[in-house]
Structure 1
Amino acid sequence: MALTPVAFDDLPLSVRSAIEAETGTVLEAEAVTAGKNSALSARVHTTGGTVFLKGLKSEHRWVWTQRREADINPYVIPLAPRVLFHLVVEGWDILGFELLDGRHADYSPGSPDIPKVVQALRRLDEMPCPNLDLRQAEQRLSRYVAHPADAKAFAGDALLHTDWNNHNVLITGGRARLVDWGWATRGAAWLDPAYWIIWLIASGHSPAQAEEIGQGVPAWATAPPSAVDLFVDANAALWAEIAGDSPDDWTARLRSAAARWQRHRRG
């Protein structure tokens, strides 16, 4: 089911009224176009302050990510912005967040943001995985390994974010903060730096340079090479599937990065 962007003013009156009961009267609403996982993505300026909203229609196949994000939120503060409210009203599922005044992280070579993201990964690695019904890394990647048993290499008890698109990493107050936790997962601790490495390659680093940057994260530094090889193969297959025959710019970029990393690992 494709996501069609919806402006705040186009929401049903009852939904807008329910939001304003939480925020105060909305004075101005700005669409936020960076997100890919929400139909509603807006910054609203209200009599009670400024709030970030994200939402999906209640029948959308991804609506479970809204509940996942609300449930995980208390366990990932202060790395994530605080959820202020969660509403389900007239066919809409809406989350309201404290607004982070920041910018998207820059992953390009030489960027001063890279050490900040390394620190965020280290902090995440120190957070215990809560006892919630999270997706399992080995299940998420099982379709993309050559043999079903290979997916066991991704199993673990660490809390993972898994979506290191630089639009999900905001630089604010001199540090990196993570948004969009709907795909939080339980798995091996080295997987999050591995997911990030694909984005580093897509942003201009060579595979060797990206792997070296990952060495700043202890979990990556101790990752079993054979398990990493399986992950790299799986993600090359995953991004080839996502990109398909008619990729847009960003899926083509990620498909190319995953394939380059695979060639590097396979020598």
Structure 2
Amino acid sequence: MTPTTGSAAHGMTPVAARADWNDLPERVRAAVQEHTGDVHQVSTISRGLNAAFTARLRTDSGMVFTKGVPTDRAAAQRREADINQHVQPIAPRLLWQIDTGGWHVLGFEHLNGRPADLGPESTDLLAVACVLGELAELESPNVACRRVEDRWADAAQNAGADAGLLAGDQLLHTDLNPHNILITDAGVRIVDWSWPTLGAAWIDTACAALWLIAEGHTPADAEAWASGIPIWTNGTADALDAFAAINAGLWGQIAEAEPRPWKLRLHGAATALLEHRRR
């Protein structure tokens, strides 16, 4: 069955060469419909940073959120599938996955929600703080994840910072941009677990604070907000200084390599946080 299609493009800059439903090989579309029944309508989602195909599908079995990447780029998405059962109910439930026709595709329960507003006047900030507290209590899964001190080792060396101060065994998301924090009727949900990492439990709160700065908060206000989350107090001054230095350098490299507006904003936010902590 040939579904109708539409665009839901808004928010972040789309990834290059984003595929539509009809761009997927027929074999892949058939495999999806073995799980869902006929697909009647497709709403392609052009925002997002990791997947090559992202869409909401209206199917015989109801609405489903799908994301896919070519098989040779599927390592991060496979990790996301592996940890899904360990991040319930904070993350949407994985319904199925397929690996065929050169594509790896995941199907998740569909959430009716909107991206979190992380701006200074937002009424979402309390709920976001609450879910960050829940994140810090997740049990570490028996799934191979990189450790933060290894993942950020080069940036730490370039910044002259000790990445060992960030070490720990807590499962981290580390990509808490507003589009990965959904405000739903059932509460706040964290999506797109493409970069699960093990490290100190306060790091996700620090990552969210960077986005608050990028959305208009001062570094002092962002840290004041973070201080309302109990796990924040576990971060020593030296560890927080190291986080700021590492991320200022890391986002500088990212923005220089591909100067998209959101990357430049994150670099500015991380630099502002570093300058604030050095005063």
For normalisation by structure 1, the TM-score amounts to 0.96
**In the TM superposition, what is the alpha-carbon distance from 1:146 to its structure 2 partner?**
3.7
Following superposition of structure 1 onto structure 2, how do residues 227-266 of structure 1 map, counting pairs within 5 Å?
227-244=239-256, 247-266=259-278
- % identity of equivalent residues: 44
- Determine the structure 2 residue equivalent to 1:129: 140
* 3-state SS of paired residue (2:253): helix
**How many angstroms apart in 2 are the aligned matches of 1:110 and 1:222?**
27
The two structures, once aligned, show a CA RMSD in angstroms of 1.4
Name which of structure 1's ranges 201-210 and 151-160 shifts more when overlaid on structure 2. Answer: 151-160
**In the TM superposition, what is the alpha-carbon distance from 1:175 to its structure 2 partner?**
2.2
Asked if 1 retains the 8 angstrom alpha-carbon contact of 2:161 and 2:246, the reply is: no
The 1:186–1:41 alpha-carbon spacing in structure 2 relative to 1, beyond 3 Å, is same
Deviation sequence 1:64-101 (CA, Å, 0-9, x none): 11110111000111100000001000100000000010
For normalisation by structure 2, the TM-score amounts to 0.92
**How many angstroms apart in 2 are the aligned matches of 1:12 and 1:170?**
30
Match of 1:115 among 126, 132, 150: 126
**In the TM superposition, what is the alpha-carbon distance from 1:243 to its structure 2 partner?**
0.2
- Structure 1: state its 5+ residue gaps: none
**How many angstroms apart in 1 are the aligned matches of 2:140 and 2:247?**
24
* 3-state SS of paired residue (1:145): helix
**In the TM superposition, what is the alpha-carbon distance from 1:174 to its structure 2 partner?**
5.5
Match of 2:84 among 70, 73, 88: 73
**How many angstroms apart in 1 are the aligned matches of 2:235 and 2:20?**
44
Match of 2:40 among 27, 33, 47: 27
Greater than 4 Å deviation, 4+ residue runs? none
**How many angstroms apart in 2 are the aligned matches of 1:102 and 1:108?**
18
Name which of structure 1's ranges 236-245 and 202-211 shifts more when overlaid on structure 2. Answer: 236-245
Asked if 2 retains the 8 angstrom alpha-carbon contact of 1:156 and 1:187, the reply is: yes
- Structure 2: state its 5+ residue gaps: 1-14
Asked if 2 retains the 8 angstrom alpha-carbon contact of 1:3 and 1:38, the reply is: no
Which amino acid is the alignment partner of residue 101 of structure 1?
A: N
Matched residue pairs, number? 264
Asked if 1 retains the 8 angstrom alpha-carbon contact of 2:94 and 2:109, the reply is: yes
**Mapped pair 1:139 → 2:150:** yes
**In the TM superposition, what is the alpha-carbon distance from 1:36 to its structure 2 partner?**
1.1
**In the TM superposition, what is the alpha-carbon distance from 1:110 to its structure 2 partner?**
2.0
**Mapped pair 1:82 → 2:93:** yes
**In the TM superposition, what is the alpha-carbon distance from 1:149 to its structure 2 partner?**
7.9
Deviation sequence 1:34-59 (CA, Å, 0-9, x none): 21100000001011101011000012
